[in-house]
């Protein structure tokens, strides 16, 4: 290093600057000229060392007093001839300060941490989703050991970690790089057990199972989740516990298929009912039956809608609809008497329309609708 500059000038502070101002000025310069931010820049490296030497003198009451009285000669006479180490030595010497600058927390010690969130998967029936239900679940979580109050130490007696001096992190300089890492001796706690707790073997944790009542609102669907605040794993060092998230799935139903708030079903009616109309009853979710009026002249794949009797809408008013997809039930075997009746009916009904006849396109669409329920859904909402 060439001719030395005045230490106060190096840090840019007044001669009567207090320790806080000196520390702040050095932090700013150390961040500006840090080797990680200026790779390969020799000028920045020299300024980094220069600032470290100035800080070493001005942050030490005895050295600062010698410097104020006799300048560089006064320091030399007092046994200090300037900073002689490399960048790694700077990191080692001012580890506490660099820990503060780069997230280590300095002497403030480790901070409380929030516990981990947990997940619980729960399946309910469509009826339970329709009405809402309260379910009891058995969930497991960690908790602070009651014998040592989460410290991991017998009778809760702990001492400051000698490896990190209570910071929870250690800082080391390697070849121009500063590395801050969690202290392995105390696992970031800043304290170690004077003697291990026999109940938790020093972990500070135990596991417990408990029964929780979960209120499930009406209208939930697969993929919805419920948050139970504070029912997750315990935090560390007095930190708040995490949350428990209950992920819901709704089981398939024997009669209905759900589409949002709407319920779709399939109903087979006899040929006479399709021709002349009539009534039918279909199951109602939650119990009972729904009355369905079937107009005359229904075709396979036609759709009837019962409004406001479907699933409740979450956070909205009202309900969805029940959508009934009709099929016509054709007898597979006929008696002689039935065959005669059908033949007589055929004589008085309009003749069948073939391909190319008026309305044939619409009838073809109805035939497609007589396939699977999802094909009927497609055909029902496909424009003519």
Domain residue spans in the chain?
7-84, 118-250, 257-381
Top-ranked range on mean pLDDT: pick from 7-16, 61-70, 219-228: 219-228
DSSP state of 106: G
Distances (CA, A) of 299 to 14, 51, 185, 268: 96, 91, 79, 11
Least confident of 61-70, 79-88, 157-166, 176-185: 79-88
Hey, what CATH class is 257-381 in?
mainly beta
pLDDT at 221: 96
Question: b/e per residue, 36-60, with b = 16+ CB within 10 A?
Answer: eeeeeeeebbebbbbbbbbbbbbbe
What confidence category does residue 279 fall into, taking pLDDT thresholds of 50, 70 and 90?
very high
Mean pLDDT of the region 208-229? 95
Q: How far apart are CA 208 and CA 116, in angstroms?
A: 15
CATH 2.30.30.40 assigned to domain 7-84? The reply is no
Nearest 5°: CA angle at 251, between 245 and 254?
165
Q: Is the pLDDT of residue 236 over 80?
A: no
Question: Would you say the CATH fold of 118-250 matches that of 7-84?
Answer: no
- CA diameter of the chain: 131
Q: Is the pLDDT of residue 293 over 90?
A: yes
Output the six-digit token pair for 370: 């007589």
pLDDT at 164: 82
Least confident of 138-142, 254-258, 328-332: 328-332
The CATH superfamily label for domain 118-250 reads: Urease metallochaperone UreE, N-terminal domain (2.60.260.20)
Which residues on adjacent β-strands are paired with residue 213? 136
Q: Is the pLDDT of residue 33 over 70?
A: yes
Percent of the chain with pLDDT over 70: 79
CA within 13 Å, CB half, 139: 25
């Amino acid at each position: 290093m060439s001719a030395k500059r005045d230490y106060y000038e190096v840090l840019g502070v007044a001669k009567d600057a207090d320790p806080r101002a000196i520390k702040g000025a050095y932090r700013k310069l150390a961040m500006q000229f840090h080797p990680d931010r200026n790779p390969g820049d020799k000028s920045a490296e020299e300024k980094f060392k220069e600032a470290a030497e100035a800080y070493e003198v001005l942050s030490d009451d005895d050295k600062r007093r010698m410097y104020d009285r006799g300048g560089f000669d006064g320091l030399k006479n007092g046994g200090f001839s300037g900073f002689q180490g490399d960048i790694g030595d700077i990191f080692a010497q001012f580890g506490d300060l660099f820990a503060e600058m780069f997230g280590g927390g300095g002497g403030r010690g480790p901070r409380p941490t929030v516990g981990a969130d947990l997940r619980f998967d729960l399946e309910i029936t469509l009826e339970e989703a329709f009405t809402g239900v309260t379910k009891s679940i058995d969930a497991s979580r960690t908790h602070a050991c009651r014998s040592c109050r989460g410290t991991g130490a017998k009778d809760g007696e702990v001492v400051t970690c000698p490896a990190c001096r209570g910071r929870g992190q250690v800082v080391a300089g390697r070849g121009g790089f500063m590395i801050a890492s969690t202290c392995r001796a105390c696992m970031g706690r800043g304290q170690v057990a004077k003697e291990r707790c026999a109940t938790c073997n020093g972990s500070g944790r135990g596991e417990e199972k408990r029964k929780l009542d979960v209120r499930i609102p009406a209208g939930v669907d697969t993929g919805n989740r419920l948050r139970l605040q504070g029912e997750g794993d315990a935090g560390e060092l007095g930190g708040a516990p995490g949350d428990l998230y209950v992920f819901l799935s709704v089981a398939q139903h024997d009669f209905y298929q759900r589409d949002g708030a709407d319920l779709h079903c399939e109903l087979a009616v006899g040929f006479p009912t399709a021709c002349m109309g009539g009534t039918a009853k279909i199951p109602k979710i939650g119990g009972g039956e729904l009355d369905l009026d079937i107009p005359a002249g229904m075709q396979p794949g036609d759709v009837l809608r019962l409004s406001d009797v479907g699933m409740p809408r979450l956070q909205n008013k009202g309900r969805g609809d029940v959508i009934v997809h009709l099929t016509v039930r054709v007898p597979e075997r006929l008696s002689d008497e039935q065959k005669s009746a059908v033949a007589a009916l055929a004589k008085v009904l309009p003749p069948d329309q073939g391909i190319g006849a008026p309305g044939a396109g619409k009838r073809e669409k109805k035939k497609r609708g007589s396939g699977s329920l999802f094909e009927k859904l497609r055909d029902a909402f496909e424009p003519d």
